[in-house]
Structure 1
């Protein structure tokens, strides 16, 4: 028993001694002397800051740990270390310092542009290593791909300098821009292929779009178009819409792709009930739900509309904000009942969290302030999740970026917002030849840039010419004047028009204008503009009216134009549902006042579109003289099919058109899709037009103020060179002196 006690006692002592040795060794390791060999460019104190000796490790493990830590920095080509007699020796072979980065073979972008995107990235470009080289290479490749260069290849080489530094050179093989040959829309039942394509930002390559940003293949832009289609359906009742895009085919020899958009529409829903539920913490403030329901733009028995739901949530938030509730969030949920939806807005109190920093990355071209002005919150504001979502949507709608991501980083009661964007091409150049029966062949070309100099400024230059007319227009739109959502517009326009066959004169016009366009509400917009014009009337024939003859030579005029519009259309281009009301007022100082009101309405019956348009116009003199004939209303052409341009109304002779002080017209169209095939898209159109010109102050030779009308039909057909239209109209009511044009042929986009 005694022997066992002795053994146990000795064993315990031995264990304590071993533990003491290990503990002492760890303490000793933390007090190692450090010697660094081989550092030429990096400061010794900097290296010591990387080496963490406070580790509970054996010598060999500590050495391996330190080697890995130093290697991970990317500053060293090789690292060795050893411990001998309490001395830790680290032997380094530094990676060379990058003296400069150069580029060769780059034609699309200047060296300065490529250096700028590298400088704006978070890549450490001071030290040469494999990781840095690859990061820069991938950054450049992605930048080129954002502009459609999907065949981009980049290699690199180095040049060692006498001081041990290196020059890093990237050789760029840009290749050609990958174009979209064809876009297939698959699975759409309710909306036509043409309608869905009008929603896309991408477009098919056409010969008249020589340099078009929308026909370049960009994966990020394709995914953005997925969302555009989804948004279109979500605002029209299809709350379960699903869209998937894919590259169906790549044609290497032509560097073109064929895209497929697969659509699962689902059911169309209507809203059958709207409710608001408040957080328990705010139920005692006496807010009347009906008062809130009156301010939102949603009604029962109307189609589900995601945009209106989001806007209604914003209105509820602002309403409660005015009541003193800052830290609230408003979201919506819906419950499906057959093909109807019960919509509920949830109003919740949230934690008092503020926005600390807002960081924007990836905007190599667009200025920070252009992005920041789209944000719904700023540094120091309460953090409201719904406002973050809306800010992201605002940035996306600029159409400057192929990708927009917003991430949040929480710290205590504050949140940082990190906004990551990817630039895309925002310029476009188009050229083409058009033809229509009214004007003959026309050469048209246009250059536009939506984000010139990266400040969100819009610039366009367009030119068109026919046998009788030519025009050149330069326009600049400056957004956010006075830090408000006001667009300042200024333009310079030159026109040369030959009206010899209709009015008996020719005129050259020069116009300098400045104006503003802004939204009064979500659906109502206002445009105001002041024009200074010089009209030079010449080559006046004997058939011209006295009013025209008296205007021979230069005529200077100041004109103030106001336009007000209320739009409930599903889309501004080729609408299929909704309505739009327009009012236009022109005040020509000391000359005339002209007003025109129009109303357009569209109905969609399973891709069959019925529409009608009504228009009324009046012009009155502001002086003792009669209104000049050149300023009066005319009727005919596309406004009254079956008749020529200015073919209806008062005239003295075949080439002596007078016009009238009042205009009244209406058009009724019914469009039926005959074929939805991509290669054979065909629509049948039937129409009825009616109108009249009346109340002329003078007494023209032919001035019967009777109603004119016509009926007809036509086809719209997509061709590789643009849309083709054939219409045939028969005048029902006409006068003997009217100029008729029953058959009209049009090819290309003609306004």
Structure 2
């Protein structure tokens, strides 16, 4: 702004004046001598001339100016014209200069961006950075946009854990009014979370609460573990997880009042402190159901609450009860029924009374469901998670449950489900906005055991195959003696219903593996359907076709194996089967407990060479004690196989279920044969008890300890005639072992070391004092 106009602003107290060059100096000097009334002076221009433009048409500039010819124009009008032209973002410099009856508008256009470069980046590649910024080559240079791009790049590095990253934009002038833009990047080191602490936690230790958070402390594998980098966007999620953890354990009024994050002086790490007010632990006292709808009997719904007196308070228990009651109302044909849980608490007794009120909700319908953001995933994959369709009564709770089911698919990074009014007040439109994430993986892994040695495996998995929500997996594995391959396909919602269809196939070969002296081939394919039969129970029905082959039995092996090769060496089997599973984790209210039961049978004889079947059962439970620092596990399993023409060793059990013993290390054995061959058994049982607990190491190392006790047996043969007709002992001899374990959630996968001691065994058993298992993808 010129000095003359600054003086004029002081004299006239004008709020808006023309900037430098807005009015030629002679007019400005004349205005300086005028009294305050001079601000009302007006001008009129017979013509408006535009200069300096090369790309932008004069008509476009005149449209921004809005200066009419031969019409009165005030100083405020000229200032407004300047602001409009300058604010268009098209020009680097603008001036408005009256020359007699002509107004000259001079502009200097922003240059065109020729090239955009990134310098100094190593962690994030150019292609990824180019997707973050808004500036593009061959577009008009915009300084504000370039500065915003620098901020976007800094934020991208911050989300990757590099809070000290610095991005400086540089503009290089070229000929023909063009510029190059270079973003100079100093990536810095990863800003990790050095320590996470808590204040106010009395019931649970810092170690236990750290397990709840999505953010983790930096450990020895901080280079590979991304969750130990500081990400401010993850803090609200951590607060929510912490609140839900406490509420699920009865702390109804828990509060996470704040999170303090302090950066170290070196700017390479953060110390995080979560402030917790636990409050009192509550339990359910009186739970009842009332109906405020004429003709609707509350007694029929009361039993659906399934909340016992004295049970630990949990919001999930209330939500499940409400969902069951509302679903029952729909089955009963009662529309627009809402269940209103009315909660009253008694701080004196630390109890909660809940009254489930059946009330009539508003007559509102779902007009339509709009899905946006999905580029690869088909709409029907999202839509099938809704139990509501267009025209159904609108139920807010069911919409929220559908949103949770969409998130649970794992196909999307973000899921936002909102509701707005439709074409009329009694109509609702459900908007679903999703952000997709990668769902495929290519894995290479390694495994090791004393029996099979070092193994390598590779897998290719896609959980959202062709955007249809289907799973496709291929796997290959090999050890020194075994080769395995498999394929699996799963359609979780067959024909749009809550029925899972799967198809699996395997092909395995072995050569003198696992205490055996023969070669094997196993091939099978199995289509299956799985569907719910209760809230926690599911039933799978299948049909399986396969072929087992035993060959190249060593000449010094047991006559039993030689006869099996001669008479049953290559067998084809075919038949139906089923598996029933009961899993409390599906809707478990108390997260400290979990139990799973399974029972399965397969029947052979509908084609093929084998007539018989196999039956197995397993029950396993888990409980967390000592403020959930220690996990106890126990299981009991058993199985039996029977065929009319006798079984082969491939169909019998090998005893690998009992730790401390090798595969085919227990069970019937022909000691008279030269190889002292293991024969396997038609029956088995195994019992396991295990405890896992911290051993004092920093939890960021991911190392815990354990102890276990196993017992079991393998027994029963159809053919017991060994060398020289001697009887092979196939009785049920109990074996047992004890041991210690080291669990390590390492940066390359979960690893477990077992050190076992057989305390009850037969003289001919093959023990395995040490076993290391490593299953990983990297």
* TM-score (ref. length: structure 2): 0.70
Q: In the TM superposition, what is the alpha-carbon distance from 1:711 to its structure 2 partner?
A: 5.2
Q: In the TM superposition, what is the alpha-carbon distance from 1:203 to its structure 2 partner?
A: 6.8
Q: How does 1:258-269 map to 2 (within 5 A)?
A: 267-269=280-282
User: 2:311 is matched with which residue: 295, 299, 302?
Assistant: 302
Q: In the TM superposition, what is the alpha-carbon distance from 1:83 to its structure 2 partner?
A: 12
**8 Å contact 1:503–1:655 — kept in the other structure?**
no
**8 Å contact 1:354–1:383 — kept in the other structure?**
yes
Q: How does 1:310-329 map to 2 (within 5 A)?
A: 310-322=319-331, 326-327=335-336, 329=338
> Matched residues in 2 for 1:371 and 1:693: separation?
48
**8 Å contact 1:220–1:402 — kept in the other structure?**
no
Alignment correspondent of 2:738: 712
**8 Å contact 1:102–1:169 — kept in the other structure?**
yes
Tell me: CA distance 1:88–1:479, structure 2 relative to 1, closer, same or farther (3 Å). farther
Tell me: CA distance 1:501–1:418, structure 2 relative to 1, closer, same or farther (3 Å). closer
Alignment correspondent of 2:410: 399
User: 2:557 is matched with which residue: 543, 546, 568?
Assistant: 543
Alignment correspondent of 2:648: 628
User: 1:585 is matched with which residue: 588, 601, 615?
Assistant: 601
**8 Å contact 1:147–1:425 — kept in the other structure?**
no
Alignment correspondent of 1:696: 717
> Matched residues in 1 for 2:235 and 2:585: separation?
25
SS of aligned partner of 1:286: coil
RMSD, aligned CA: 5.6
Q: In the TM superposition, what is the alpha-carbon distance from 1:108 to its structure 2 partner?
A: 9.1
Question: Residues 350-375 of structure 1, C-alpha deviation per residue, up to 9 Å, x if partnerless?
Answer: 474755674635x6765655444445
> Matched residues in 2 for 1:250 and 1:447: separation?
42
Larger CA Rg, structure 1 vs 2: 2
**8 Å contact 2:173–2:180 — kept in the other structure?**
no
**8 Å contact 2:704–2:744 — kept in the other structure?**
no
Tell me: CA distance 1:398–1:109, structure 2 relative to 1, closer, same or farther (3 Å). farther
Tell me: CA distance 1:645–1:375, structure 2 relative to 1, closer, same or farther (3 Å). same
SS of aligned partner of 1:550: helix
> Matched residues in 1 for 2:577 and 2:62: separation?
70
User: 1:505 is matched with which residue: 518, 522, 538?
Assistant: 518
> Matched residues in 2 for 1:547 and 1:245: separation?
72
2:683 equivalent to 1:656 = no
Tell me: CA distance 1:111–1:642, structure 2 relative to 1, closer, same or farther (3 Å). closer
Which is worse superposed, 603-612 or 95-104? 95-104
Alignment correspondent of 1:647: 665
SS of aligned partner of 2:301: helix
Q: In the TM superposition, what is the alpha-carbon distance from 1:614 to its structure 2 partner?
A: 1.5
Tell me: CA distance 1:288–1:200, structure 2 relative to 1, closer, same or farther (3 Å). same
**8 Å contact 1:634–1:660 — kept in the other structure?**
yes
Query: Aligned pair count?
Result: 705
**8 Å contact 2:219–2:701 — kept in the other structure?**
no
Tell me: CA distance 1:710–1:113, structure 2 relative to 1, closer, same or farther (3 Å). same
Alignment correspondent of 1:599: 619
> Matched residues in 1 for 2:191 and 2:442: separation?
14
Tell me: CA distance 1:514–1:117, structure 2 relative to 1, closer, same or farther (3 Å). farther
Alignment correspondent of 1:360: 372
> Matched residues in 1 for 2:662 and 2:457: separation?
22
Alignment correspondent of 2:361: 349
> Matched residues in 2 for 1:290 and 1:133: separation?
67
Tell me: CA distance 1:447–1:223, structure 2 relative to 1, closer, same or farther (3 Å). farther
2:347 equivalent to 1:335 = no
Q: How does 1:23-42 map to 2 (within 5 A)?
A: none
Q: In the TM superposition, what is the alpha-carbon distance from 1:472 to its structure 2 partner?
A: 4.3
SS of aligned partner of 2:650: helix
User: 2:687 is matched with which residue: 663, 666, 677?
Assistant: 666
Q: In the TM superposition, what is the alpha-carbon distance from 1:694 to its structure 2 partner?
A: 4.0
Which is worse superposed, 231-240 or 577-586? 231-240
**8 Å contact 1:81–1:89 — kept in the other structure?**
yes
Alignment correspondent of 1:20: none
User: 2:759 is matched with which residue: 726, 731, 735?
Assistant: 731
Which is worse superposed, 208-217 or 655-664? 208-217
Tell me: CA distance 1:284–1:390, structure 2 relative to 1, closer, same or farther (3 Å). closer
> Matched residues in 2 for 1:511 and 1:501: separation?
21
Q: In the TM superposition, what is the alpha-carbon distance from 1:729 to its structure 2 partner?
A: 3.5
Q: Which runs of 5+ in 2 are unaligned?
A: 1-39, 722-726
Q: In the TM superposition, what is the alpha-carbon distance from 1:598 to its structure 2 partner?
A: 0.8
**8 Å contact 1:436–1:745 — kept in the other structure?**
yes
Question: Residues 589-620 of structure 1, C-alpha deviation per residue, up to 9 Å, x if partnerless?
Answer: 54242121111123333234443212121222
Alignment correspondent of 2:636: 614
**8 Å contact 1:212–1:429 — kept in the other structure?**
no
> Matched residues in 2 for 1:611 and 1:538: separation?
40
SS of aligned partner of 1:291: helix
SS of aligned partner of 1:271: strand
Q: In the TM superposition, what is the alpha-carbon distance from 1:631 to its structure 2 partner?
A: 0.9
> Matched residues in 1 for 2:296 and 2:330: separation?
13
SS of aligned partner of 1:295: coil
User: 2:482 is matched with which residue: 456, 469, 475?
Assistant: 469
> Matched residues in 2 for 1:118 and 1:518: separation?
47
Q: In the TM superposition, what is the alpha-carbon distance from 1:396 to its structure 2 partner?
A: 2.9
Q: In the TM superposition, what is the alpha-carbon distance from 1:675 to its structure 2 partner?
A: 3.4
Which is worse superposed, 648-657 or 526-535? 526-535
Alignment correspondent of 2:770: 744
Q: In the TM superposition, what is the alpha-carbon distance from 1:731 to its structure 2 partner?
A: 2.6
**8 Å contact 1:358–1:379 — kept in the other structure?**
no
> Matched residues in 1 for 2:160 and 2:464: separation?
14
Which is worse superposed, 35-44 or 667-676? 35-44
Q: In the TM superposition, what is the alpha-carbon distance from 1:320 to its structure 2 partner?
A: 3.5
SS of aligned partner of 2:595: strand
SS of aligned partner of 1:580: strand
**8 Å contact 1:408–1:415 — kept in the other structure?**
yes
> Matched residues in 1 for 2:208 and 2:542: separation?
32
2:296 equivalent to 1:287 = yes
Question: Residues 45-65 of structure 1, C-alpha deviation per residue, up to 9 Å, x if partnerless?
Answer: 999699899xxx995556656
2:306 equivalent to 1:272 = no
Question: Residues 92-112 of structure 1, C-alpha deviation per residue, up to 9 Å, x if partnerless?
Answer: 877678899999999999999
Tell me: CA distance 1:84–1:179, structure 2 relative to 1, closer, same or farther (3 Å). closer
Which is worse superposed, 86-95 or 422-431? 86-95
Q: In the TM superposition, what is the alpha-carbon distance from 1:504 to its structure 2 partner?
A: 2.5
Q: In the TM superposition, what is the alpha-carbon distance from 1:581 to its structure 2 partner?
A: 0.6
Q: In the TM superposition, what is the alpha-carbon distance from 1:708 to its structure 2 partner?
A: 0.7
SS of aligned partner of 1:675: coil
**8 Å contact 1:79–1:90 — kept in the other structure?**
yes
Tell me: CA distance 1:73–1:297, structure 2 relative to 1, closer, same or farther (3 Å). farther
Q: How does 1:209-220 map to 2 (within 5 A)?
A: 219-220=232-233
Alignment correspondent of 2:30: none
**8 Å contact 2:446–2:776 — kept in the other structure?**
no
Q: How does 1:218-229 map to 2 (within 5 A)?
A: 219-220=232-233, 223-224=236-237, 226-228=239-241
Q: In the TM superposition, what is the alpha-carbon distance from 1:664 to its structure 2 partner?
A: 2.8
Alignment correspondent of 1:675: 696
